Chains A and B, each alone.
Chain A
Amino acid sequence: MLELYGTKFSSRMLLGTAGYASPDLLRQAVEASGAEIVTVSLRRESARAKTGQGFWGLIEELGRRVLPNTAGCHTAKEAITTAQMARELFGTNWIKLEVIANDDTLQPEVFGLVEAAAELNADGFDVLPYTTEDLSVAERLAAAGCEVLMPWGSPIGSARGLANKTALKTLRAYFPDTPLIVDAGLGAPSHAAEVMEMGYDGVLLNTAVAKAGNPVTMARGFARAIEGGRLAYEAGIVEPRDMATPSTPIAGTPFFKIDNAS
């Protein structure tokens, strides 16, 4: 079971709600994915005066745990204000914290991220920070009170998969007990399977599903890949070898070349 801030989930997929052709298609994709957590961007679908009521109603009808995010915020201050609006609107302390450094790469602005995380944690939020794979930043976020870390796979929406596997493995090794979720940059279910095989606790997706030729079928594909990757991790994956290893017994074969030298 995935456990985030004391709540348990049987699905290890978190699904974003942006970019679908219609709210109805979004609903079908969420149902097909089995995701129990959906992220919602607060910035444009404005919280102020509940002007997005029609859309909020549809999100609430999904019956999933809502994880509001601070997408598009460029400073700690902006992200904190957005988080406070989200808490009021959705009645949740959960916040996916994004502070963006650069509109082109959408990479996390890690200094502002740590600053905002500390302040929001002190203010009673449960912060799920979208961060880079950098270990030193992860340590600062953990020190600031974050009980979950969400490193990127590659830039948001790029569908490139894992750009820095080594660093992600390092992060896993350094934080064996902290829930780690890869957030952003995945394109294909194989990417998600890879994340899960590395022992990560979950995967957060949006574009890969929303912009797929058929989002509903793609949601199902990701759900299976995530489950498959997790099972593989739990089962223990055999170590790769350079030579073939016969999987059938070789008893009865009197001689074989043991060093390939003769």
Chain B
Amino acid sequence: MTGPYKIAIRGAGVTGLWQALTLARRGHSIIVVEQSTEPFTDACSPWAGAMLAPRCEEESAEPVIRELGMRGIQLWQAAYPDLTSAGSLVVAPARDRTLLDRFERMTEGGSRLDATQLEELEPDLIPRFDTALFYADEAHLNPEAALHFLLNEVRNAGAVVQFGTGETPDGADFIVDCRGLGAQDMLPTLRGVRGERIVVRSPDIAFERSIRLLHPRFPLYLVPWGEDETGANRFMLGATSIEREDGGPVTLRSTLELLSAAYVLDPAFGEAEILSLGAGVRPAFPDNRPRIITSSGYIFVNGLYRHGFLLAPVMAEMVAHYLETGVTHPEVFIADFGQR
């Protein structure tokens, strides 16, 4: 296997765009076809929180997610100037302190901060929290800005992106299917997992890094999304993981849970303004692990679940290696159609 090849990519979410960017920059001839007429209207990518937190994810994900994710951060750092590499924090209310112990036990690479160290990083968490876990090499980004950046870069790299069509052109050497849940027609074990989130803004809150608040029932993720046009800071509050496959509006219950948790993190959220509430549905396989499924000239990249932004670049790098050298990652690639 050598190339360069003519490659058609189905789907222009974060997975498809990273495939296009990586493969185009390596000299392949790329066309991306996306069913939606406007960019990102059918994708689940804009609904992401876009924490790049592979170490924290290991609390409930396999080690391979951390290994791939660490590479994912490197690839984002090399490609995207607006990535915030400020690490991430994990805190718990005093009475749920055992959750922090469990989190520490289930993950690696985090350091335990005392109140003084925590105050240096995020003074607004003091005095409600007097300890935290800090994962210094994690990062975050604003998914909407990053998606538009990626689309632009893909075009700059010489790839063609067509909206409003699901048809792949004739004559492609390879088709890379990055349609997420749209590929359920061909991947019967793929399921959707709903995630809900709220975006707020406040001029009074200045968290600089993503923060997880542990709670037995209402865990919260906060991701700073930078300033809006009024100069106020925007924050993503999310995200639930619900085993259902509809996008649809956020429920009142989820809203209460997320906002109550935010209020626990910092009562200043009481004065924050709600910009949007919404839900997306992420594609996942039964083991919640990503897969690259190869079947002669047709390649599925799917099942990125809640790790779309984290893993999309490294999935693209793996596909490129595979096309050019035939090398596969044993925990990600599946060659047999029967196993998908």
Instruction: List residues of chain A with CB under 8 Å of any chain B CB.
Output: 21-25, 27, 44-46, 49, 51-55, 57-58, 103, 157, 211, 213
Contacts and interface: CB of A to CB of B under 8 A. Distances in A.
B288 A51 contact: no
A134 B4 CA distance: 74
Interface of B: 60-62, 102, 105-106, 190-192, 216-217, 242-246, 284-289
A48 to B, nearest CB: 9
A23 B246 CA distance: 18
Contacts of A213: 105-106
Given A21-B60, A22-B284, A23-B286, 5 more contacts: A23-B288, A44-B243, A49-B246, A51-B244, A54-B245
Contact of B243 (A21, A25, A45): A45
Contacts of A54: 190-192, 243, 245
A51 B246 contact: yes
A128 to B, nearest CB: 22
Contacts of A49: 246
A157 B243 contact: no
B4 to A, nearest CB: 37
Given A157-B216, A213-B106, A58 B242 contact: no
Contacts of B284: 22
Contacts of B288: 21-24
Nearest to B181: A54
Given A157-B216, A211-B102, A213-B105, A52 B243 contact: yes
A103 B108 CA distance: 32
A55 B286 CA distance: 9
A200 B332 CA distance: 46
Contacts of B105: 213
Nearest to A40: B243
A45 B243 CA distance: 5
B286 A58 contact: yes
Nearest to A20: B60
Contacts of B106: 213
A55 B61 contact: no
Contacts of B61: 21
A24 B285 CA distance: 9
B62, B216, B243, B287: residue with the most chain A Cβ atoms closer than 10 Å:
B243
B10 to A, nearest CB: 21
A246 to B, nearest CB: 44
Contacts of A103: 217
Contact of A52 (B60, B245, B285, B289): B245
A192 B245 CA distance: 36
Contacts of B192: 54
A27 B246 contact: no
A52 B216 contact: no
Nearest to B245: A51
A257 B280 CA distance: 79
A23 B192 CA distance: 12
Contacts of A58: 191, 286
A58 B245 CA distance: 14
Given A49-B246, A53-B245, A22 B190 contact: no
Nearest to A103: B217
Contacts of B289: 22
